[in-house]
A and B are shown apart, each in its own frame.
Chain A
Amino acid sequence: MRKFFLFLTYIIFISISVILLGLIFYSPLSALAINLASPEIQFAILLSLITSVLSTTICIALAIPVAYALARYEFFGKKCATLALTLPLTLPPLVAGIALLLFFGTTPWGKALDQAGFAVIFTPLGIIVAEVFVNIPYMIRILRSAFSAINPRYEHVAKTLGCTDTGAFFHVTLPMARHGLLAGAIITWSKAMGEFGAVLMVAGATTMRTETLPIALYLNISTGDLNLAVAAATILILISLLTLCVVEYFDRSIHVF
């Protein structure tokens, strides 16, 4: 049995490695460098970086208070809220995307926002909105488990030592949750870099306008430009690898997936 199981393990390990390395080494390194330097890929990298960093920042800012509330307070509808807040986790991003599209495209609120100058549909802003919507549940879950793991008595002691409620949170609880925060930020960011379905629905796939890395991959593969698609894919693989390493390093106690 041991032999058979190990055999299977090696087969799968080798398959995954071969398939992914095959993609990275599809084009010679020099060609890959040229493709990476092409204006379209450069634009995609930049747009992906900007939108993912912004959406991650927004996710962190919103998730910290929400996760803390879920971890510490008892309130009406807590169970319901927990469920709704984590639903997008299991929702296919395409479904999230179409829901966003309908919300911003057809409702009076969405139209009001559009007229106020915050056009979401088919704009780079839409990318950020889609990424936040899809990723915030991850951030909330990770942070909630990080906050729950911290005994509230740390805050009690901090208060007797001279902290206000807010002070105790910033001086004690948040620093103690820093590993969860970091792991959450990295995961959220890498998911944002790779988000496709929801972004496609909300922001569309316009070359050099809403073209993030995954969209670039999709557009180029559709038009048969395999080299550019491979360049985009290579970057995405490297980001995944980096994320995994960071999370493995910092995240031994907090289970994310």
Chain B
Amino acid sequence: MLCIESLSITLGEFSVRDVTLEIQPGEYFIILGPTGAGKTVLLETIAGIHSPESGRIILGDKEITSTEPRLRNIGMVYQDYMLFPHLTVGDNIAFGLSQRKISSDEQHARVEEICSFLEISHLIRRYPGTLSGGEQQRVALARALVLKPEILLLDEPMSALDSRTRERMRMELFRIRKLTGTTIIQITHHFEDVFALADRIAIMREGQIIQFGETSGVFLHPVDMFVAEFLGIGNIIRGKSSKAGKITQIIPAAGPSFFAASGIVGNVVATLHAEDVIVSQEPLTSSARNCLSATVIEVIPNGSTVRVILDAGFPLTALLTRESCRDLHLGQGSKVYATFKASAIHVIPVNSQENGIL
């Protein structure tokens, strides 16, 4: 288990303030936050690159706050991979092993093993400059994983990849985690990563962890408007998607089914921005494919807008102006209709059964 206790550090304009986290062995933990929130500084401090001004880091039963990075057994992969350009792929991967004075026979065997695991054996004699982004990514992962780290830190590892390669890497990370049982802490900007991979997430802002917990909990119960807005998604509905003509029909765990303009089938997470939900007193006849009857649970004013929490069989949030809310006479218990277009639904495939419980 990795325990971070009231960790603080300032590095130029970036800072981490009083961060406390507990990360379980084998957990996939994702840190989200806007640029400049101090996410990378936090990871680097866990890796031991920077010494904190205050606070402690405990790995297992050992305090490692002032342990040198090389003795922590924590691997790190950056967004730009940082492969050593003067070494071949094979030498890059063997770098850590040779630092550890491991015999060259064993080095060779372990490099081979990790290369075949990550399907990069054919690249072993090439130089990093000649590889594609996805290949560099695999080499960087191999270089970290060959040391069998207790914890693997990933700093936006997929930001530089195109979306198809990203999707493949995501599956790769899922496989790595499953087969090696390595604890992984990842920084990301992509919600797809969160749904596909994370056990728990933390939201960071201005150096502080504002909220952390199970993915579903954080998404369904954002602690404040910042988190809600940062997550940017009023509605997250987990369900099963199946073909219905040219579009798909999504059947949520509870509540009525609805349509989505997407070709993705199987286990999915459907997201819907709150501002895309239209609330009316009578069923709407429109081009929108989905019109569900719902009950108002709560009305939360926020500046010029109002967040209306509905129960349509599953929780549904709508964002209205104060005026329309007043005109509709919305209050707790009002019976309304919620309308949204099939094309407003964003469908994200979920790789795993056991991941998350949205």
Binding site for B on A (CB under 8 A): 151, 153-154, 156-164, 167, 171-172, 175-176, 178
Contact = CB atoms under 8 A, between A and B. Distances in A.
A156 B96 contact: no
Counting from the closest, the 6 A-B pairs by CB-CB distance are: A162-B99, A161-B96, A159-B69, A162-B70, A160-B76, A175-B86
Contact of A161 (B68, B70, B80, B85): B70
A159 B47 CA distance: 9
Nearest to B94: A161
A158 B49 CA distance: 10
Contacts, number: 64
B142 to A, nearest CB: 12
B74 interface: yes
A176 B86 contact: yes
B240 interface: no
A178 B96 CA distance: 22
A160 B72 contact: yes
Given A153-B78, A153-B80, A167-B99, A159 B86 contact: no
Contacts of A175: 84, 86
B100 interface: yes
Interface string B66-99: 0011101011101010101110000000011001
B49 A162 contact: no
B147 interface: yes
B44 interface: yes
A53 B269 CA distance: 68
A178 B70 contact: no
Nearest to A176: B86
A159 B48 contact: yes
A164 B82 contact: no
Q: Identify the interface centre among A153, A158, A176: most chain B CB within 10 Å of its CB.
A: A153
A161 B99 contact: yes
Interface of B: 44, 47-49, 68-70, 72, 74-76, 78, 80, 82, 84-86, 95-96, 99-100, 143-144, 147
B12 to A, nearest CB: 9
Contacts of B147: 161-162
Contact of B70 (A153, A163, A172, A176): A163
Nearest to A152: B49
Given A158-B95, A167-B99, 8 more contacts: A151-B82, A156-B78, A157-B76, A160-B69, A162-B96, A162-B99, A164-B70, A176-B85
Contact of B86 (A153, A158, A162, A178): A178
B99 A156 contact: no
A175 to B, nearest CB: 5
B100 A162 contact: yes
A160 B48 contact: yes
B48 A161 contact: no
A158 B76 CA distance: 10
Contacts of B48: 159-160
Given A161-B95, A161-B147, A167-B99, A154 B82 contact: yes
B93 to A, nearest CB: 10
A165 to B, nearest CB: 9
B68 A159 contact: yes
B81 to A, nearest CB: 9
Contacts of A178: 86
A157 B99 contact: no
Contacts of B69: 156, 159-160
B73 to A, nearest CB: 9
